[in-house]
């Protein structure tokens, strides 16, 4: 089988670092965490060496603003939300090898080391520039906290790009500029900063991205578009007192800019994991197998707004270091909307994961979000389609198949997988379909096509229901018991293998099915799992609950 290679591959699964100034909503989950988890689970089952890391991005201005609003410190705010995100990920069974945060001593050391390395190699440069400043709050203002008249059209706008006409500008070109933090007039003040010389990487990045034939067109095109405008030196320090300290003299009051340090989190998290007791190998340098062994593959699961950070900025930093592997793929998704409008933390238009899980099961959520995953275009969460997906697909197709076969074996064969004898063409065909599903589902998963892979499994469940309908074991049990036995032996194997195939998507359901056959409480390997004749079956409660819809 294609997925079971002789030599295990080293697969690094990197998931976007959430900004912890608020709670996670369903958009965060569908966009990158869920596909990353399915991908990591599949590769572990296929025998590969998977390391899946992420963490909370605790730094940056939004956290300091939120802290002011809640009358506390940035540290407390970011710790509070870090804990909420960590708990949510556990509730959803995300299988991170390490979910950490940027506030650790380890992250600081790794970032500063890389900063110094780039400095030694001549990729950093100090420059003086005039930056927006609020006299009232006595602070420099990042682009997102200034608002003024667009120099190109008659509208008010924020940042460095007009919301209305889409044109770029320098903040200093905006008229009637105010600070959105305190509504005071913005002045410009000279300040010195360290810049990353991105233009030095322009040519190599261009060649590297063009060679990525298997990237999603949206990812490749956005990255090449970004490059075609010409890279410019980017400041990697900020006038702020919350973040990673700049490891050079006279920068004691400044911090490293979040976009530079957060993307280094994948590396620092890998090192932290290797040095922790979560690493059972006793080799503290094992992270190098993923970061320095040229045969390893890095997959970055991101939202589309983060593409250039992972196709341009991070690769430039890694190229500059000369020490680490570049991304193999940046698996960026489009957006999940909520009833037609974009999820928005700031506009409070969202379904919060914690609220959702108070009412509904995490497996139903994982199933539904995978089935509508915004892989190549935006998709829409609606309550009606969630109820339909749960009731018509999970309950009526998958759950019902398991139920039927389980009760037929219970009522007619004393809860024991029956013996088979002289199975017919239909039986053989069904077994072949099961075996084929490993290949088709696995192929889609390896290509990061999660909706298609889930569809393969549901198609197998539909085929299974049709097979049982056609074989009518409730009738043959009276006419020829061996025929019924053959059908239910096939049925038992159908359930056993659906339990394996569904494991990356619905891990709890998979374990329940394992317990049905006494296969033990471990994640199965990605291969045909026989339910042998004579195995005693433990009755399990229905896998999924129907949701009663109030009209």
Token pair of 246 as six digits: 């700049």
In the complex, the smallest distance separating the C-beta of residue 229 from Zn ion, rounded to whole angstroms, is 18
In the complex, the smallest distance separating the C-beta of residue 161 from Zn ion, rounded to whole angstroms, is 9
**E strand segments, 224-321:** 234-235, 237-238, 255-256, 297-303
Angle at 238 between CA 236 and CA 240, to 5 degrees: 150
Cβ distance to Zn ion smaller for residue 175 or 422: 175
In the complex, the smallest distance separating the C-beta of residue 143 from Zn ion, rounded to whole angstroms, is 15
Q: How far apart are CA 395 and CA 452, in angstroms?
A: 20
- Give the N- to C-terminal CA distance of the chain in Å, as an integer: 49
Cβ distance to Zn ion smaller for residue 1 or 153: 153
In the complex, the smallest distance separating the C-beta of residue 166 from Zn ion, rounded to whole angstroms, is 7
In the complex, the smallest distance separating the C-beta of residue 174 from Zn ion, rounded to whole angstroms, is 10
* H or E element in which residue 189 lies: strand 186-196
Strands 156-158 and 146-149: antiparallel
Cβ distance to Zn ion smaller for residue 161 or 293: 161
Cβ distance to Zn ion smaller for residue 150 or 434: 150
Cβ distance to Zn ion smaller for residue 168 or 323: 168
In the complex, the smallest distance separating the C-beta of residue 148 from Zn ion, rounded to whole angstroms, is 11
In the complex, the smallest distance separating the C-beta of residue 502 from Zn ion, rounded to whole angstroms, is 50
Residue of 521, 510, 516 whose CA lies nearest to 363: 510
Cβ distance to Zn ion smaller for residue 165 or 248: 165
Q: How far apart are CA 33 and CA 337, in angstroms?
A: 16
What is each CA distance from 132 to 139, 146, 189, 242, 387, in whole angstroms?
9, 8, 7, 18, 49
One DSSP character per residue, 67-84 reads HHHTTS-HHHHHHHHHHH
Strands 336-338 and 329-333: unpaired
Q: How far apart are CA 59 and CA 503, in angstroms?
A: 35
Cβ distance to Zn ion smaller for residue 153 or 475: 153
Q: Which residues are at the interface with Zn ion (CB under 5 A)?
A: 150, 152-153, 162, 164-165
């Amino acid at each position: 089988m294609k997925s079971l290679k002789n030599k295990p591959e080293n697969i690094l699964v990197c998931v976007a670092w959430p900004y912890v100034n608020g709670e996670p909503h369903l958009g965060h989950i569908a966009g990158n965490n869920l596909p990353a988890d399915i991908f990591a689970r599949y590769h572990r089952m296929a025998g590969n060496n998977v390391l899946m890391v992420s963490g909370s991005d605790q730094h940056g201005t939004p956290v300091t603003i939120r802290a002011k609003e809640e009358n506390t410190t940035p540290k407390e705010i970011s710790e509070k939300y870090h804990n909420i995100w960590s708990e949510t990920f556990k509730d959803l069974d995300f299988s991170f090898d390490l979910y950490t945060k940027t506030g650790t001593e380890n992250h600081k050391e790794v970032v500063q080391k890389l900063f110094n390395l780039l400095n030694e190699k001549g990729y950093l440069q100090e420059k003086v520039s005039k930056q927006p400043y609020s006299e009232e709050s006595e602070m420099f203002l990042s682009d997102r906290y200034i608002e003024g008249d667009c120099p190109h059209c008659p509208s008010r706008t924020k940042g460095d790009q007009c919301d209305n006409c889409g044109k770029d500008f320098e903040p200093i070109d905006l008229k009637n500029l105010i600070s959105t933090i305190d509504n005071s007039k913005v002045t410009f003040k000279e300040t010195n900063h360290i810049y990353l010389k991105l233009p030095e990487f322009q040519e190599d990045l261009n060649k590297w991205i063009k060679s990525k034939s298997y990237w999603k067109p949206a990812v490749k095109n956005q990255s090449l578009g970004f490059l075609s405008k010409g890279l410019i030196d980017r400041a990697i320090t900020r006038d702020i007192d919350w973040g990673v300290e700049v490891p050079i003299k006279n920068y004691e009051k400044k911090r490293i800019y979040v976009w530079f340090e957060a993307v280094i989190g994948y590396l620092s998290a890998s090192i932290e994991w290797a040095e922790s007791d979560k690493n059972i190998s006793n080799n503290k340098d094992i992270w190098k197998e993923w970061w320095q062994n040229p045969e390893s593959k890095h997959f970055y699961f991101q939202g589309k707004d983060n593409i250039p950070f992972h196709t341009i900025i991070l690769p430039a930093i890694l190229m500059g270091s000369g020490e680490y592997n570049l991304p193999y793929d940046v698996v960026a998704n489009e957006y999940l909307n909520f009833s037609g409008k974009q999820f928005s933390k700031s506009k409070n238009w969202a379904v919060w994961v914690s609220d959702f899980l108070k009412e509904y099961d995490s497996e139903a959520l994982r199933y539904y979000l995978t089935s509508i995953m915004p892989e190549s275009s935006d998709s829409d969460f609606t309550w009606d389609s969630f109820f339909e997906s749960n009731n018509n697909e999970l309950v009526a197709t998958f759950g019902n198949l398991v139920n039927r076969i389980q009760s037929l074996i219970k009522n007619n064969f004393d809860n024991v997988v029956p013996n088979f004898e002289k199975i017919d063409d239909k039986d053989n065909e069904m077994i072949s379909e099961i075996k084929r599903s490993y290949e088709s589902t696995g192929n889609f998963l390896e290509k990061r096509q999660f909706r298609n892979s889930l569809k393969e499994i549901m198609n197998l469940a539909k085929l299974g229901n049709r097979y049982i309908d056609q074989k009518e074991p409730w009738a043959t049990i009276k006419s020829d018991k061996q025929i019924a036995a053959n059908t239910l032996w096939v049925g038992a194997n159908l359930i056993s293998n659906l339990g394996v195939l569904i494991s990356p998507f619905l891990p709890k359901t998979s374990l329940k099915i394992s317990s049905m056959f006494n296969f033990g409480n471990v994640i199965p390997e990605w291969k045909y799992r026989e339910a042998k004749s004579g195995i005693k079956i433990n009755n399990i409660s229905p896998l999924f609950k129907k949701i009663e819809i109030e009209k």
